[in-house]
Structure 1
Amino acid sequence: MFRSRRAGLVRRLWRHRCATLGPEDGHGALKPAAHALFKKLKDEELELLVQAVESRGAGQSGCVWVARAELRGIKQALPPQVLLCRLYRWPDLRHPHELKRLSCCQSFWGWGGCGEGATLCCNPHHLSRLAMPETPPPPYSRISPFSCPWPEPESGCSAHGDWQDASVSRSAARDGCWCKLAYWEHRTRVGRLYAVHEASVNIFCELPQGSGFSLGQLQAERRSQAVRRARSKIGRGLLLSRERAGVWAYNRSEHPIFVSSPTLGPPGARSLPVHKVLPGYSLQVFDYERVAGLAGWRKPGDGPCDPHSVRISFAKGWGPCYSRQFVTSCPCWLEILLSTPR
């Protein structure tokens, strides 16, 4: 009975593998390695993996633990997290360093230990892909956090300077939160500021499970067709997390997000570049160390800049190579107002 139940779980897992897997991956190297890994998983771990794969990460799936010592008996070149990510998320994935563990994973916080009794979470939806450089760079680029240079910032008082509130980051520090979120539709802010106290927060439109900043609950007097179309693409939105070196954004939706931050872009840039982050990818959108050199910076002809803010647009980009020149031309966008470090 138990053997047939495990076999049924494995069949369900194999049905949900990526449709784009080629014959050499699906029935060659990956299938024997995957079955060998499934045998090493306990029944409860196998059930958690099935839940995560079938929900495609929509819910709060638990960690799928596998003992590191058990993996020594598996003859495969790929680590388990890479193997499962190739099977269920990114068939073109090759190396572990292309992945970033999400803050919702217990392995991110060091759980599992080290040594003979150590375990590792291999839930593919507890991992994201690192945004990598794109060629050519204009009109946007996906960059790697390992080598991202830092730029001169864009002024907080742009041609549409009616939306920037440089005092929010200072007031946020007094409130005990590490950032406040403002949701905008074009040039109109919708709803109140959302204070973030936890280390991470989900920003989404309408989701049956999970908690965080629900944009679907924010009511506006009237919405254009463009705003409604953009809102329909937000879906699961993004995961925003404060980590040791800075702030990361993980795109949980099925459409790209576009990011502009004072700590992204090449030195000497006349304006801030806008970076495209594809679904399933993570990008470090703010660097605490690099922002230290931006205090007091002024752009010629503009007022003082608040370097502690990040702008993220859902589904639509902006900038010199777009019809939308400013973020305030985007139908739906988010302003992250970070607390000034003490």
Structure 2
Amino acid sequence: MFKSRRPGLVRRLWRSRVVTESDGHSGKLHRHEQRSMTHTDTAPGLTGEAGDLTEGAEREDEEQPDDDRGAMCVPEHRGSRRGQESDSRTVTCCLFGEWDFRPRSSYWAARKDGAGPCQCAPRRGVLEEDLASTAHAFLKRLKERSLDALVKAVETKGGIPGECVMVPNTELRLGAHHISPYYLLCKLFRWGDLPLSARLKPLCHCQSFGAVDSAKVCCNPHHYSRLCGPESPPPPYSLSRSDEHKPLDTGTSIGSVTSGGHRSHWCSVAYWEQRTRVGRLYPAYEPSLSIFYDLPQGTGLCLHGHHRHGGSSSSSVQQIRSKIGFGIVLSRELDGVWVYNRSQHPVFVHSPTLDPPSARGLNVKRVMPGFSLKVFDYECSSWMAEHSVKPESQEGPWDPHSVRISFAKGWGPCYSRQFITSCPCWLEVLLNNHR
């Protein structure tokens, strides 16, 4: 008889889960422990989606000494300081603070005096135990092949996304809440602070992409992304409360076919280092295109071999190039072009459809790791063309069907770099669908 590998795979998965600082790396669950942080940190769960992060968060993400002063045009959410002596004082925050959204709930806020455990320690311990028991019960029901796929995806942090892990589309009970299987694994292996209200979008290569109310659903956590921005998504992405944990209906993949029957490219991508274009234009024929610097497994545009001719790159370019990592995924979908950030650092994007009609400055959006954003809206673009709308922020010639993406560094009126040509590593995406 052959001994089953399933118990060992479950243990490997559990050791790979997202843990807090207090949990350590022992693979064990500790009860009644809080994560400690200083007042200079931003409390997890208070920032909501990616667009609400503070300036301090950006400096931490970029990890550059020449940080962007005033880079964020949003109010900060940090706690007030009472003199220099309070800077090193620690407060405790609840790992599961997002479970209760009532403003006056004791389960949301840390103690005002900044000392000792928060009032939610017993509740947090119970929720951790519920999460552990629910996760173990769910994982033990999976077949060996499914566990293998999950281990590959989780241990490579999405570098090898693996195949879909299809399970019955039934809700799981976690404490007093009902959650979907993919929400459970996304919270366990990707975002420990994932709120119940989070909107998860299946990636275009996933079987759950465009499948709504299906009997089975994929639970591979690296087949999902979070949506940027606190605003409500336009149809068909507006969700009722009962649909919060259903995969967003993004339709089916589409391709471009010429009159002669030959498939044409839907976009061309140019890679730039500051003012210099490096390499040739790369045409994209498939509905999705991976752009990366270092990827364990995959196809697409690899920037590792793109180097300037006749000169070496600056130190800033080399530093940012090393941060590209797994890079991004561009996907052409029914409603527009989406970008998914699969790297470990933020990317900054801009397109004409991201600018409000009355905006006087570029509306550069930041996409955090693991998040997706619709960077080009087909309906908005058609409306702008029909009404001859040109953003006020654009001076001189401009391309209404282009998207610009900068790795790790932002630009525009809210940043120290006014123009994208000052960014070390960036992409120019020339869309072909309306030309």
TM bracket (short chain) = 0.7 to 0.9
Q: Which runs of 5+ in 1 are unaligned?
A: 134-142, 148-173
Q: 1:60/1:13 Cα in 2 relative to 1: closer, same or farther (>3 Å)?
A: closer
Q: 1:234/1:334 Cα in 2 relative to 1: closer, same or farther (>3 Å)?
A: same
1:80 aligns with 2:181: yes
1:107 aligns with 2:208: yes
Greater RCO (CA < 8 Å, at least 6 residues apart): 1
- Counterpart of 2:298 (choices 204, 210, 217) is 210
Q: Distance in 1 between matches of 2:361 and 2:164?
A: 42
Name the residue aligned to 1:123.
220
- The AA in structure 1 aligned to 2:269 is L
1:189 aligns with 2:282: no
Name the residue aligned to 1:201.
289
Name the residue aligned to 2:147.
46
Q: 1:10/1:293 Cα in 2 relative to 1: closer, same or farther (>3 Å)?
A: same
What root-mean-square deviation, in Å, do the aligned CA atoms of Structure 1 and Structure 2 show? 2.4
Give the Å deviation of 1:341: 2.5
Name the residue aligned to 1:159.
none
Q: Distance in 2 between matches of 1:338 and 1:25?
A: 51
Q: Distance in 2 between matches of 1:317 and 1:302?
A: 20
Deviates most, 298-307 or 32-41? 298-307
Tell me the SS of whatever aligns to 2:354: coil
Deviates most, 324-333 or 212-221? 212-221
Q: Is the 8 A contact 1:205 1:215 kept in 2?
A: yes
Q: Is the 8 A contact 1:145 1:284 kept in 2?
A: no
Q: Distance in 1 between matches of 2:131 and 2:350?
A: 38
Q: Distance in 2 between matches of 1:13 and 1:200?
A: 29
Name the residue aligned to 1:236.
326
Name the residue aligned to 2:258.
none
Q: Is the 8 A contact 1:248 1:285 kept in 2?
A: yes
- The AA in structure 2 aligned to 1:210 is G
1:287 aligns with 2:377: yes
The normalised TM-score by structure 1 is: 0.81
- The AA in structure 2 aligned to 1:332 is C
Name the residue aligned to 2:6.
6
Count of residues in correspondence between the two structures: 300
Whichever of the two has the greater Rg, that structure is: 2
Task: Describe the superposition over 1:11-44 as per-residue Cα deviations: whole angstroms up to 9, x where unpaired.
Answer: 1111111112756377412111112211331221
Deviates most, 200-209 or 22-31? 22-31
Name the residue aligned to 2:410.
317
Q: 1:298/1:102 Cα in 2 relative to 1: closer, same or farther (>3 Å)?
A: closer
Q: Is the 8 A contact 1:79 1:96 kept in 2?
A: no
Name the residue aligned to 1:274.
364
Q: Higher helix fraction: Structure 1 or Structure 2? A: 1
Within-5 A mapping of 1:63-74:
63-68=164-169, 71=170, 74=172
Give the Å deviation of 1:219: 2.1
Name the residue aligned to 2:110.
none
Tell me the SS of whatever aligns to 1:241: strand
Q: 1:268/1:96 Cα in 2 relative to 1: closer, same or farther (>3 Å)?
A: same
Task: Describe the superposition over 1:206-264 as per-residue Cα deviations: whole angstroms up to 9, x where unpaired.
Answer: 32311100111112132111111110110110010001100100001000000111111
Sequence identity percentage: 54
- The AA in structure 1 aligned to 2:313 is R
Q: Is the 8 A contact 1:144 1:283 kept in 2?
A: no
Task: Describe the superposition over 1:57-109 as per-residue Cα deviations: whole angstroms up to 9, x where unpaired.
Answer: 101411111123xx46x544211111111111111112365211111211115
Q: Is the 8 A contact 2:268 2:281 kept in 1?
A: yes
Name the residue aligned to 2:159.
58
Give the Å deviation of 1:298: 4.5
Q: Which runs of 5+ in 2 are unaligned?
A: 24-94, 96-123, 236-261
Q: Is the 8 A contact 1:40 1:66 kept in 2?
A: no
Deviates most, 122-131 or 202-211? 202-211
Q: 1:208/1:46 Cα in 2 relative to 1: closer, same or farther (>3 Å)?
A: closer
Q: Is the 8 A contact 2:161 2:223 kept in 1?
A: no
Give the Å deviation of 1:119: 1.5
